[in-house]
Structure 1
């Protein structure tokens, strides 16, 4: 089934130094840009993460330090990537929980101002898990009747994710709508305020903490009740995006604004 697109959509996949969205870095990115008229563009690039790639990570994606030694850093290509995804919705496999937060962190480190929250996020893994409960390789086999060759390479995983979403739309016409707003809502577990999901909107649209001792409590109330909690988060092992979002809420509640 051809996707019903109002905006271009970018399917993307990251290979990284590890699975910590706070500290790990991108070593390869591939994105497949699909236009409303059906035209497609693909780009794959390797990135020098400016840190050692742990052997256990290299064993999965096959990328070693020597393979990226002469590649550009993310900061060197960040503006190009931002330009390529400008005005596009974003889709991936486990992207809402991993790829989107990691990409947002890299943009922040590179000093590139891009408001990714304006986009719709379609996570094909969430759709799959809600309907079938499998992995990407199994999803590809199940929906597309093909074996996923070169699994855990960014390009193969990106292409497979795109094909799986189209097949899902064909298979579940009664459950799914060929509409990016619907798919973004369907593939979201929570209405996140930050990409990592540390702060979410409750059923009334109020920003609440989604972790720790104040889970479920209003962020603004917690900041008034326990001002030290803000400093604890800013000095803690949280993503830059989470800290930025919390700061904006704090400034808003204080009657101030950010630039």
Structure 2
């Protein structure tokens, strides 16, 4: 605590949920570590019944199943107590600006509370990590190869440096796979739930949902039936050919199926 100065309590929190879409998904577990200016702490963990099935993909990540939360309270039942507990506190977490805060805001809104962060200080350890360790090629070349990159942003220099960085990564991290196929899988950030490589669409169980904008969380089938203008906008706009094909097929009543998604087929 000697390196952290607090003017009011700091709440470090983490959320596990049924998914990543705040308007559709629900919290299944929330952990709160409250640190007071005098240095003493309070630590609580609460599992919640999301009132919806927990997708197998989510359970695979956090290990919480429907049976685990069947007898737990809903968020509505603990909303007021939690709201008061973190009131007038600053916030901290890992990637909370991108995930945990939006999820908590949505849950509080459904419970009738207006949760705002405008008057709080928010510390995101993930953002600090990114600033301390930049992800540029120049930074990677310095870290893995111990050399300054001359001629950065020139195609020839960048190409040579990238290969040196890859070799440096393999040398520094013996746990990395050694085959091209395994390295390709390891470096794929899209993940198994991505329908397209840009993650504009993703799988939710066996349904394709939109993964961006105001329609995030809505199924492709629902949008095709009730909001086809959104799909026509995608077809006309600056998206990849893969994304446009998915949208255009949906307008024609053809939707990806998870069983043959690897082959790009649609039903």
The alignment's TM-score, normalised by the length of structure 1, stands at 0.51
Q: CA deviation at 1:132?
A: 2.4
Pair member with larger Rg: 2
- Aligned equivalent of 1:112: 113
- Aligned equivalent of 2:215: 237
Change beyond 3 A, Cα 1:21–1:133: farther
Whole-Å separation in 2 of the counterparts to 1:130 and 1:21: 27
- Aligned equivalent of 1:8: 9
* Higher relative contact order, structure no. (Cα contacts within 8 Å, ≥ 6 residues apart): 1
- Aligned equivalent of 2:72: 71
Give yes or no for contact 1:22–1:237 (8 Å, CA) kept in 2: no
Give yes or no for contact 1:104–1:116 (8 Å, CA) kept in 2: no
Which consecutive unaligned segments of at least 5 residues does structure 2 have? Answer: 136-213, 218-267
- Aligned equivalent of 2:171: none
Q: CA deviation at 1:23?
A: 1.4
Deviations 1:180-205 (A, max 9, x none): xxxxxxxxxxxxxxxxxxxxxxxxxx
For residues 50-89 of structure 1, the aligned pairs below 5 Å read: 50-89=51-90
- Aligned equivalent of 2:239: none
| Pair 1:90-2:91 in alignment | yes
Give yes or no for contact 1:48–1:74 (8 Å, CA) kept in 2: yes
Change beyond 3 A, Cα 1:73–1:133: farther
Deviations 1:34-73 (A, max 9, x none): 0001110001000111111000110110100010011010
RMSD: 2.0
Deviations 1:95-144 (A, max 9, x none): 0010001000000001123433221111000001111269xxxxxxxxxx
- Aligned equivalent of 1:210: none
Whole-Å separation in 1 of the counterparts to 2:92 and 2:13: 6
Give yes or no for contact 1:12–1:30 (8 Å, CA) kept in 2: yes
The alignment's TM-score, normalised by the length of structure 2, stands at 0.49
For residues 192-207 of structure 1, the aligned pairs below 5 Å read: none
SS of match in other structure, 2:215: coil
Change beyond 3 A, Cα 1:115–1:84: same
Structure 1 residue ranges, 4+ long, deviating more than 4 angstroms after superposition: none
